[in-house]
Structure 1
Amino acid sequence: MTHYLLSVHNDDTPVYPTPEHAERAFAATGRVNDAMREAGVFVFAGGLAASTTARVVRARDGALERTDGPYLESKEHIGGFWVLDVADEAEALAWAERATVACEGAVEVRPFQGVVGD
């Protein structure tokens, strides 16, 4: 099995235009989470707070520097993610397809180089 990160990308505009829309998307995402658990591939998932809450710590010229805001100055950011333990990339992509339909956001799929603690 291989660990994959499925990350949801969106921008700072409200993802769901109404509370009812958000409720439907959260319910659909919950059903995908349940299916992942039932399939035995779910490791961990979480939604992230707004990018305005991000803080970055950098090492520059031997000194540590803290800045407000996301690491990248970009229109899009990671809004949430799943960590899955699947057989291969094809299986990770199949889960990403279900996840992107449920949460209505683009989902990036990337394998981990290795997992500490395995």
Structure 2
Amino acid sequence: MDELAKGIQVAKGQLTAMLSGKAQIETLMPALQAVTDTLAAVSEEGILSLALPPRLERELVAQKILFPLMTGRRREPLRAVGTVILYECCVDLKIDDQYEKWRIRFEEILAQLIPD
């Protein structure tokens, strides 16, 4: 469980750096993949035990439930989890009014990096 919490913090840190113009999205991909892989192996109760912000917790549980439906698709789990963490970063930076712009950019770059 610590692995998932740590992975989420690393991904949030890298997404925050990206939003601040201090990092490129490519540097985020390994951290996001680690969160996705760990999330796939964690129980729903495990996610609930992390004391995450309510929206992040709800969305991660929803994505955990949807993962079996995404079997064989590499980009979709990364997009799903990445956009949830991206929203949290935008809220933390008080730029949640810019979330939609960043989400679209994130999904465009993700589509270029990881063909589905």
User: TM above 0.5, one fold?
Assistant: no
TM-score (norm 1): 0.28
TM-score (norm 2): 0.28
User: Which structure has greater strand proportion?
Assistant: 1
Bigger relative CO (Cα 8 Å, ≥ 6 apart): 1
